[in-house]
Amino acid sequence: MLSTLSQRTSIFARGARAAGSAWSAQLFGGHRLRQMHSAAPGPVELAIGTKLTAAFAPVSHMSIFNESHMHSVPPGSETHFRVVLASPAFEALPRTVDRHRAVNKELKHELSTGVHALSLSLFAPAEWQKLEEEKGGAAALPASPTCRGGFGI
């Protein structure tokens, strides 16, 4: 696993809100790393993490969940994602819609080439810290809706 991390190291947290998922949680320099015991992230997930880390550095917290398995898509798809991101960059963008626009701008390529759904939970560091202290962080966020059926939905 990871033995040493520098401040420039990007931590991509992966996982799914599926019942029975095996999670391990560790703290690295104040960042919570959650890894699901499964295959390595795919190229779309890596691109999302790389772009968001670069655009919103320094990142206080980032979790990327590939939720494609919850939908009617072929196994191994990368079409449905949930991102939880905390960054000081969002302090200058107090409106949720402005934060979403900033992320969508960074992920324009992914959204136009196969990412069908992107759920965003975006926080300034103080907002994220308050959510962690009062409600347990990402676990307090609402779960993604279940698939209503149909190919690619």
1-18 pLDDT, tens digit per residue, is 222 222 222 334 333 333
100-140 pLDDT, tens digit per residue, is 999 999 999 999 999 999 999 999 999 999 999 998 887 88
Burial class (CB in 10 A: 0-12, 13-18, 19+), 77: middle
38-79 pLDDT, tens digit per residue, is 567 899 999 999 999 999 999 999 999 999 888 888 888 899
- 3-state helix vs strand vs coil in the chain, percent to 5: 35, 20, 45
CATH number of 24-132: 3.30.300.90
For residues 115-130, one letter each, b for 16 or more C-beta atoms within 10 angstroms of the residue's C-beta and e for the rest, the string is bebbebbbbbbeebbe
The residues, any chain, with a CB within 8 Å of residue 143's CB and separated by 6 or more, are 17
What is residue 145's three-state secondary structure?
Answer: coil
Taking every pair of C-alpha atoms in the chain, what is the biggest distance, in angstroms? 44
Sheet containing 80-86: give its strands across: 61-66, 80-86, 117-123
Return the residue matching tokens 């991101």: 85
Q: What pTM did the predictor assign? A: 0.72
- How far apart are the C-alpha atoms of 83 and 122, rounded to whole Å? 8
